[in-house]
């Protein structure tokens, strides 16, 4: 019975349907919704909102932790309900609206959103819509499979709508650690010195009088689309394992390495999976998203503890893990994303950050977000939080895409998310380039020789030869820097016609 999950009895009368709850949201409002990479998102109030938007003028600014599941972004975009979206998304329909200029997308580092809200650098939250497993007798909100930005949204909002999801197990209670940084300029240090530290509360503390409505749901999180490891991602993992073996031999790190972070997606997940057969043990994670590989490492007795902001799992792995969450619970913690991604903590713990690049150039600049300079894919997410502050910043990608018609290593990236100063290691299935301590001219030769697909190496060497003849600290031929991208736009391949026909 749902009342068992509402510990504060004075809130029982707040239970309403999704349509009635959604009426608290008006045209022009700023709405903060729970959800971080398909996990722990509000599921029925957004759909009721989209339905209203088809019948009346209703446009909102939508803030979340990261991407949403349950087709929420798609449905809201199709209904014309979104005027602005912050800070990350991964939906093809919404992406189309963003690239058409119909929805204004603010692509932010995931650690920054609530910092800007708290300091009133952005418009305040009018209504927060938060999925919960339960409400405490004091009115505290216990999140489900993610925290993301939910805590600060709820604390800062004028009103709160709570979706209590009866499908989510009560065994999730105790998994969360809600710590909110103190105010600037006299902020205290965040007291985390190990991934396993718990420094906050197991619920979101709010004034219960702000809870305007409670909606009961029983909908599942959307499962992640995680491809299994293939020959190329396994090769990337092997290159990294060999690199870390060398770091251990040199005495730079121990056999437990340093806390690991891995970005969302199949490539990063597969790379972590490769650590199962490595010589490393007693690993720890301090990351944002805990994917299938986290629990595979637990089951292989390789991982000792994992800290994240969400658990985003494939369908089969989700059924397995959530049916037996108590088996992992004492080795897990979920935190607000401003803590999981906080530069202070990342720098203190010495994180090894492993993130995915759309493309990288021969000097080590990385593009994570844009296709051909202009077209947004998903967003920078948390990769910048980690890349700038990590002990080691690693970017992984397959060397080619679209059946070899696109090289992921190019003379110059068309958009820079992570500049050369924030990139230590680039890895493809071809090899690994350790860029630490190297000047741009040295980096270029290493990236071409170790990371680029053979079909493109001669083209890159020809470009670099001409660039070196021009001179400069970071040599380029400006009129040729994007010729590979232009060739793809014109012919559907970055390769010259004769080469592509071979």
- Residues 372 and 71 sit within 8 Å (Cβ to Cβ): no
231-491 CATH fold: Glutaconate Coenzyme A-transferase (3.40.1080)
User: What does the pLDDT average to over 353-371?
Assistant: 97
CA–CA distance, 250 with 254 (Å, rounded to integer): 10
CA–CA distance, 8 with 139 (Å, rounded to integer): 6
CB atoms within 10 A of CB 437: 7
Q: Return the higher-pLDDT residue of 229 and 95.
A: 95
Instruction: State the pLDDT confidence band at 190, using cuts at 50, 70 and 90.
Output: very high
Percent of the chain scoring above 90 in pLDDT? 94
SS (H, E, C) 182-197: CCCCCCCCCCCCCCCC
2-217 matches 231-491 in fold: yes
- Residues 309 and 340 sit within 8 Å (Cβ to Cβ): yes
Instruction: State the pLDDT confidence band at 221, using cuts at 50, 70 and 90.
Output: very high
Task: Give 315-319 contacts, CB < 8 A, sequence gap 24+.
Answer: 315/223, 317/226, 317/292, 318/221, 318/223
CA–CA distance, 491 with 56 (Å, rounded to integer): 45
Which of helix, strand or coil describes residue 289?
strand
User: What does the pLDDT average to over 195-219?
Assistant: 98
User: What does the pLDDT average to over 122-151?
Assistant: 98
Asked if residue 378 belongs to a known ligand binding site, the reply is: yes
Asked if residue 96 belongs to a known ligand binding site, the reply is: no
pLDDT in tens, 258-299: 999 999 888 888 889 999 999 999 999 999 999 999 999 999
Q: Is the pLDDT of residue 58 over 90?
A: yes
CB atoms within 10 A of CB 491: 13
**Beta bridge partners of residue 311, listed in sequence order:** 290
The one catalytic residue among 112, 131, 163, 288: 288
- Residues 307 and 340 sit within 8 Å (Cβ to Cβ): yes
Q: Dig out the tokens for 498 from the structure.
A: 């004769």
Containing 321, the helix (H) or strand (E) segment is helix 315-322
Give the model's pLDDT for residue 6. Answer: 98
Give the model's pLDDT for residue 81. Answer: 98
Asked if residue 149 belongs to a known ligand binding site, the reply is: no
Instruction: State the pLDDT confidence band at 123, using cuts at 50, 70 and 90.
Output: very high
Containing 271, the helix (H) or strand (E) segment is helix 266-273
**For the chain, how many helices (H) and strands (E)?**
17, 26
Q: Does domain 2-217 have CATH number 3.10.110.10?
A: no
pLDDT in tens, 399-414: 999 999 999 999 999 9
Please indicate whether residue 138 is annotated as part of the active site. Answer: no
Which of helix, strand or coil describes residue 488?
helix
pLDDT in tens, 441-492: 999 999 999 999 999 999 999 999 999 999 999 999 999 999 999 999 999 9
Instruction: State the pLDDT confidence band at 501, using cuts at 50, 70 and 90.
Output: very low
Q: Is the pLDDT of residue 500 over 90?
A: no
pLDDT in tens, 35-50: 999 999 999 999 999 9
Q: Dig out the tokens for 419 from the structure.
A: 């500049």
Give the model's pLDDT for residue 497. Answer: 55
Give the model's pLDDT for residue 454. Answer: 97
Instruction: State the pLDDT confidence band at 304, using cuts at 50, 70 and 90.
Output: very high
* pLDDT, averaged across the chain: 96
Give the model's pLDDT for residue 154. Answer: 98
Cα-Cα-Cα-Cα dihedral sign, residues 57, 61, 65, 66: positive
The runs of H, that is alpha helices, within 359-424 are 383-389
Instruction: Tell me how far CA of residue 331 lies from CA of 274, 279, 307, 446, in angstroms.
Output: 21, 21, 8, 40
- Residues 355 and 396 sit within 8 Å (Cβ to Cβ): yes
- Residues 154 and 130 sit within 8 Å (Cβ to Cβ): yes
Domain map (residue ranges) of the chain? 2-217, 231-491
- Judged by average pLDDT, the poorest of 154-163, 187-196, 258-267, 403-412 is 258-267
C-alpha of 273 from chain center: 18
Q: Is the pLDDT of residue 331 over 80?
A: yes
- Residues 345 and 390 sit within 8 Å (Cβ to Cβ): no
Please, which residues have CB within 8 angstroms of residue 408's CB and are 6 or more apart in sequence? Answer: 357, 358, 359, 360, 397, 398, 399, 400, 401, 428
Strands (E), 364-475: 366-367, 370-371, 375-376, 392-396, 400-401, 406-407, 409-410, 425-428, 431-434
Give the model's pLDDT for residue 210. Answer: 98
Which of helix, strand or coil describes residue 83?
strand
Give the model's pLDDT for residue 498. Answer: 44
Please, which residues have CB within 8 angstroms of residue 100's CB and are 6 or more apart in sequence? Answer: none
pLDDT in tens, 59-85: 999 999 999 998 999 999 999 999 999
């Amino acid at each position: 019975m749902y009342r068992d999950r509402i510990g504060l009895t004075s809130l029982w009368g707040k239970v309403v349907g999704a349509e009635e709850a959604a009426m608290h949201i008006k045209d022009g409002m700023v709405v903060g919704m729970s959800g971080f990479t398909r996990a722990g998102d509000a599921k029925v109030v957004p759909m009721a909102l989209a339905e209203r938007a088809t019948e009346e003028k209703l446009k909102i600014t939508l803030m979340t932790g990261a991407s949403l599941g349950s087709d929420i972004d798609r449905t809201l975009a199709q209904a014309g309900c979104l005027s602005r979206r912050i800070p990350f998304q991964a939906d093809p329909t919404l992406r189309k609206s963003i690239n058409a200029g119909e929805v204004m997308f603010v692509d932010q580092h995931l650690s920054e959103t609530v910092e800007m809200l708290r300091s009133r650098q952005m418009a305040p939250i009018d209504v927060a819509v938060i999925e919960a497993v339960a409400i405490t007798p004091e009115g505290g909100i216990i999140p489900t499979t993610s925290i993301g930005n939910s805590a600060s949204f709820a604390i800062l909002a004028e009103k709160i709508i709570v979706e209590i999801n009866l499908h989510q197990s009560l065994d999730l209670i105790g998994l969360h650690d809600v710590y909110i940084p103190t105010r600037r300029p006299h902020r205290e240090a965040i007291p985390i010195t190990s991934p396993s530290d718990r420094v906050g509360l197991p619920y979101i503390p709010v004034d219960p009088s702000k809870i305007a409505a409670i909606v009961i749901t029983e909908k599942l999180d959307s499962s992640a689309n995680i491809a299994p490891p293939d020959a190329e991602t396994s090769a990337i993992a092997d290159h990294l394992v060999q690199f870390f073996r060398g770091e251990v031999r040199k005495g730079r790190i121990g056999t437990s390495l340093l806390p690991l972070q891995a970005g969302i997606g199949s490539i990063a997940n597969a790379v972590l999976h490769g650590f199962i057969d490595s010589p490393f043990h007693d690993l720890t994670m301090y990351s944002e998203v805990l994917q299938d590989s986290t629990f595979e490492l637990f089951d292989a007795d390789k991982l000792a503890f994992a800290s994240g902001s969400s658990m985003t799992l494939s369908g089969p792995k989700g059924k397995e893990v959530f049916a037996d969450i108590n088996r992992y619970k004492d080795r897990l913690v979920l935190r607000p994303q401003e803590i999981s991604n906080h530069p202070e903590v990342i720098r203190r713990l010495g994180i090894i950050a492993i993130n995915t690049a759309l493309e990288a150039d021969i000097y080590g600049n990385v593009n994570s977000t844009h296709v051909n300079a202009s077209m947004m894919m998903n967003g920078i997410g948390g990769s910048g939080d980690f890349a700038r502050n990590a002990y080691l910043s690693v970017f992984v990608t397959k060397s080619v895409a679209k059946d070899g018609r696109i090289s992921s290593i190019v003379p110059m990236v068309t958009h820079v998310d992570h500049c050369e100063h924030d990139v230590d290691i680039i890895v493809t299935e071809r090899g690994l380039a350790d860029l630490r301590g190297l000047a741009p001219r040295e980096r270029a030769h290493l990236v071409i020789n170790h990371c680029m697909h053979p079909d493109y190496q001669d083209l890159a060497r020809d470009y670099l030869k001409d660039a070196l003849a021009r001179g400069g600290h970071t040599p380029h031929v400006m009129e040729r820097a994007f010729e590979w991208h232009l060739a793809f736009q014109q012919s559907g391949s970055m390769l010259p016609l004769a080469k592509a026909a071979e």
